[in-house]
Amino acid sequence: MEVLGDLVNHLIKSGVHGLAPLGSTGEVAYLNHEQKETIIKIVVAASNGRVPVISGVGSVSTAEAVKEAVKAEKLGVDGILAIMPTYFLPSENAIIEYFTSIANAVSCPVVLYNNPKISRADLNPKLVMQLAEINNIEYFKDASGNMGRVINIVNSNKIKLFSSSANIPATVFMLGGVGWMAGPACLIPKLCIKLFDICIQKKYSEAMELQKKIWKLNEAFQNDTPAACIKAGLILQGFEVGSPIHPQNSLSFADMEKLEKILTSLN
């Protein structure tokens, strides 16, 4: 897993403000405990305090997720991105219980992650408001793509906002978003940081032009899982990260070529 340390160094040198291993794209739902532990250790060691590490945590079982969160904190992460994979469709009570249990088990800050199309656990504004009452639940990362709900949550002033790739990051920043955790940043870190910077400087016209350009990368992610796409892109850039975890398929040759063209046009 030397390649992971190399990637961490590359990203930090490119200027990223933090690292978020084990998110959705980081295959949190496909890895076993040992694999997750190894990844956190490598990222924490390679980062070596230069930038904060926010580790994804998630399991279909609450107890397993809590165990993972506690372990991650012990291994030195600076925050937890709490993800809720599901099997049976969870009730609202189940959703509240899951995130509350994780937050109560650690003392570091927790980011709520909402991705109902994938996880089927829908953190609607009412649930987010309720969970925001918990002390260390400080952030909300929305991947629902429903910007109306995001504005509702922003209007409440109760929780800070991270962008995902499912929303338009430039818009999230304009609404006061504090950051962006997204797979594409692995492939085009400098452009992503530039977008963040010019948004912070309120140069919004310029930001939207850059946003439109960057979006071409999202357009390449239609036919495959995000992990398959990011791994393919990293291989194109010389990082030998291997195949996505099966049953995820690798990119077809045609999709690989398309991705290469877009990456070239962006660099």
Q: Which residues bind a copy of itself (CB under 8 A)?
A: 24, 29-33, 60-64, 84-85, 87-91, 93-95, 97-98, 101, 118-119, 145-148, 151-152, 154-155, 166-168, 170-171, 174-175, 202, 204-205, 208, 211-212, 215-216, 218-219, 225-227, 245-249
Least distance CB 59 / a copy of itself (angstroms): 9
Minimum separation from the CB atom of position 225 to a copy of itself (A): 4
Q: Which is nearer to a copy of itself, 102 or 108 (CB)?
A: 102
Which of the following is catalytic: 36, 98, 139, 141?
141
Minimum distance, C-beta of residue 238 to a copy of itself, in the bound complex (Å) = 25
**Strands ordered across the beta sheet of 179-180:** 54-57, 79-82, 110-114, 137-142, 160-163, 179-180
Instruction: Tell me the C-alpha to C-alpha distance, in Å, between residue 235 and each of 60, 146, 239, 240.
Output: 31, 32, 5, 5
Whether 113 sits among the annotated catalytic residues: the reply is: yes
Rounded CA separation 266/86 (Å): 36
**Under 8 Å between Cβ of 130 and 112:** no
DSSP string, 146-184: -HHHHHHHHHHTSSEEEE-SSS-HHHHHHTT--EE--GG
Give me the least distance between CB of 218 and a copy of itself, in Å please: 6
Nearest to 225 by CA among 253, 203, 251: 251
Sort 178 into a burial class: Cβ within 10 Å, 0-12 / 13-18 / 19+. middle
Distance CA 41, CA 19 (A): 13
CB of 217 to a copy of itself, least distance (A): 11
141 noted as active-site residue: yes
Please tell me which residue in 36, 98, 113, 139 is annotated as part of the active site.
113
Q: Which residues are catalytic?
A: 113, 141
